[in-house]
Amino acid sequence: MRKIQYDRFGDEQVLEVREQPTPTIGKNQLLIRVKAASINPLDWKLYRGEMKLLSGSAFPKAVGIDFSGVVAQTGPGVTRFQVGDAVFGLLDTFKGGALADYVVATEGDIAPKPSTISFEQAAALPVTGLAALQILDQLAAVQAGYEVLLNGATGGVGMLALQIAKRRGASVTAVAGPAGATLTSWGADTVLDYTKQDLTRLSQRFDTIIDLSDKLSFAAAKKLLKPRATFVSTLPSPWSLAASFLHNLFSAQKHRILILKPTAQGLADLAALAQDQLQIPVEKVYNLASVRQAYRETSRGEVRGKTVITLD
Ligand SMILES: NC(=O)c1ccc[n+]([C@@H]2O[C@H](COP(=O)([O-])OP(=O)(O)OC[C@H]3O[C@@H](n4cnc5c(N)ncnc54)[C@H](OP(=O)(O)O)[C@@H]3O)[C@@H](O)[C@H]2O)c1
């Protein structure tokens, strides 16, 4: 089978399509024929070597976290899925390997793919959708009437978080570059262009600020927070986790940091949202042979929403 691997850290040129043996499965495992996988910023942070502490430096390494496909084999102990079922899910975030013809998963890594969405849309959903749900419901507990600032609203997480925050009854100010102009049609109450507007000069105060750009610090965001508000960032590091923990002990303004927790229930919740007309922003679709081009364009910020790679 084909699999994307790399043997050294670097830009997208390190990614190679290789022939590998199809994996074998054991107890409680499923073999899934991948139909599509999607690109996440974590992929390029890993292959560039920006997360060596977490990924380690042993090679070869594989790429791709979330996928959709069809169950090809089930191992002993698998009870909830059968050969032929259409599914979507995600692999270990630091090991990856979804950019391959086959992946091995457990029942906890996957959920049935809703029939109302395509394999491409399903592959775009796991990481970004789980991130959006965990930020809004667990870290910020966004409720009806909350004023939410979403910084980085044209990205994969942002376009889902915008729609889910609106479903929770929040008022959303969406921030992005010039491509964000269309976000009102996705539900944004206000759209700001960060190339024209200095956020720190806003007079409005927010119940929740979610930074998906990695560019807004808690220190800068603080002046935009109401007295009992929450700031959420998505870049965990030992230092930021320790600093936020200490800060949260003594302040009513909280700084929460996302560490994605994949759960089968979360995937089922996303499937239900997808069946309830959540729009999944797949902007570009490539085949496996164009994987370098796909990563080059996406990592340069040239794609609004998600890039998907098909394995057919
Ligand atoms: N910790 C975790 O477990 C976890 C899990 C999932 C995701 N994440 C992280 O969450 C972040 C968002 O993920 P994603 O998939 O949505 O990324 P993405 O698709 O690359 O989106 C990034 C967004 O940031 C915007 N942006 C860039 N520069 C900006 C600036 N100066 N001010 C405001 N917005 C700016 C971009 O808008 P333009 O394109 O218009 O510039 C885009 O809307 C990434 O850093 C990802 O690694 C973390």
Q: Which tens digit of pLDDT belongs to each residue from 281-297?
A: 999 999 999 999 999 99
Q: What is the CA radius of gyration of the chain?
A: 20
In this predicted structure, what is the pLDDT of residue 206? 98
Cα-based torsion angle of the residue sequence 258, 264, 269, 274 in order, rounded to the nearest 10 degrees: 100
Domain boundaries, given as residue ranges, for the chain: 2-124+281-310, 128-257
Which atom of ligand 1 is the closest one to the Cα of 42? 47
CA angle 299/35/180 to nearest 5° reads 35
Question: Percent of the chain beyond pLDDT 70?
Answer: 100
Q: What is the mean pLDDT of residues 204-230?
A: 97
* CA 42 to centroid of ligand 1, rounded, Å: 10
Intrachain domains 2-124+281-310 and 128-257 with the same fold: no
Is the pLDDT at 127 greater than 90? The verdict is yes
Q: Which residue has the tokens 């965001």?
A: 221
Which atom of ligand 1 is the closest one to the Cα of 260? 3
Is the pLDDT at 160 greater than 90? The verdict is yes
User: d(Cα 307, Cα 134) in Å, to the nearest integer?
Assistant: 22
User: d(Cα 43, Cα 46) in Å, to the nearest integer?
Assistant: 5
Helix H, strand E, coil C: the string for the chain is CEEEEECCCCCHHHCEEEECCCCCCCCCEEEEEEEEEECCHHHHHHHCCCCHHHHCCCCCEECCCEEEEEEEEECCCCCCCCCCCEEEEECCCCCCCCCECEEEEEHHHEEECCCCCCHHHHHCCHHHHHHHHHHHHHHCCCCCCCEEEEECCCCHHHHHHHHHHHHCCCEEEEEECHHHHHHHHHCCCEEEECCCCCHHHCCCCEEEEEECCCCCCHHHHHHHEEEEEEEEECCCCHHHHHHHHHHHHHCCCEEEECCCCCCHHHHHHHHHHHHCCCCCCEEEEEEHHHHHHHHHHHHCCCCCCEEEEECC
Is the pLDDT at 20 greater than 90? The verdict is yes
* Total residue length of the chain: 312
Is the pLDDT at 54 greater than 90? The verdict is no
- If you average pLDDT over every residue of the chain, what do you get? 97
In this predicted structure, what is the pLDDT of residue 253? 98
Residues with CB under 6 A from ligand 1: 40-42, 127-128, 131, 151-158, 175-177, 179-180, 194, 212-215, 234, 236, 258-260, 301
In this predicted structure, what is the pLDDT of residue 273? 98
Main-chain phi, psi angles of 107, to 5 degrees? -60, -30
In this predicted structure, what is the pLDDT of residue 53? 84
In this predicted structure, what is the pLDDT of residue 102? 98
CATH architecture group of domain 128-257 = 3-Layer(aba) Sandwich (3.40)
Q: Whose CA is nearest to atom 36 of ligand 1?
A: 152
Beta strand pairing call for 2-6 and 61-62 = antiparallel
* CA 215 to centroid of ligand 1, rounded, Å: 9
Within 8 A by CB and 6+ apart from 97, the residues are: 3, 62, 63, 64, 91, 103
Best probe residue, ligand 1, of 198, 213, 241 (max atoms within 8 Å of C-beta): 213
Best probe residue, ligand 1, of 173, 212, 255 (max atoms within 8 Å of C-beta): 212
Best probe residue, ligand 1, of 93, 186, 234 (max atoms within 8 Å of C-beta): 234
In this predicted structure, what is the pLDDT of residue 312? 84
Which atom of ligand 1 is the closest one to the Cα of 301? 39
State the fold for domain 2-124+281-310: Quinone Oxidoreductase; Chain A, domain 1 (3.90.180)
At 104-116, the pLDDT tens digits run 999 999 999 999 9
In this predicted structure, what is the pLDDT of residue 298? 97
Is the pLDDT at 225 greater than 90? The verdict is yes
* CA 162 to centroid of ligand 1, rounded, Å: 13
Q: Whose CA is nearest to atom 13 of ligand 1?
A: 157
Is the pLDDT at 207 greater than 90? The verdict is yes
Beta bridge partners, 38, equal: 308
Q: Whose CA is nearest to atom 39 of ligand 1?
A: 301
Which atom of ligand 1 is the closest one to the Cα of 259? 3
Which atom of ligand 1 is the closest one to the Cα of 179? 40
pLDDT band for position 63 (50/70/90)?
Answer: very high
* CA 155 to centroid of ligand 1, rounded, Å: 5
* CA 44 to centroid of ligand 1, rounded, Å: 13
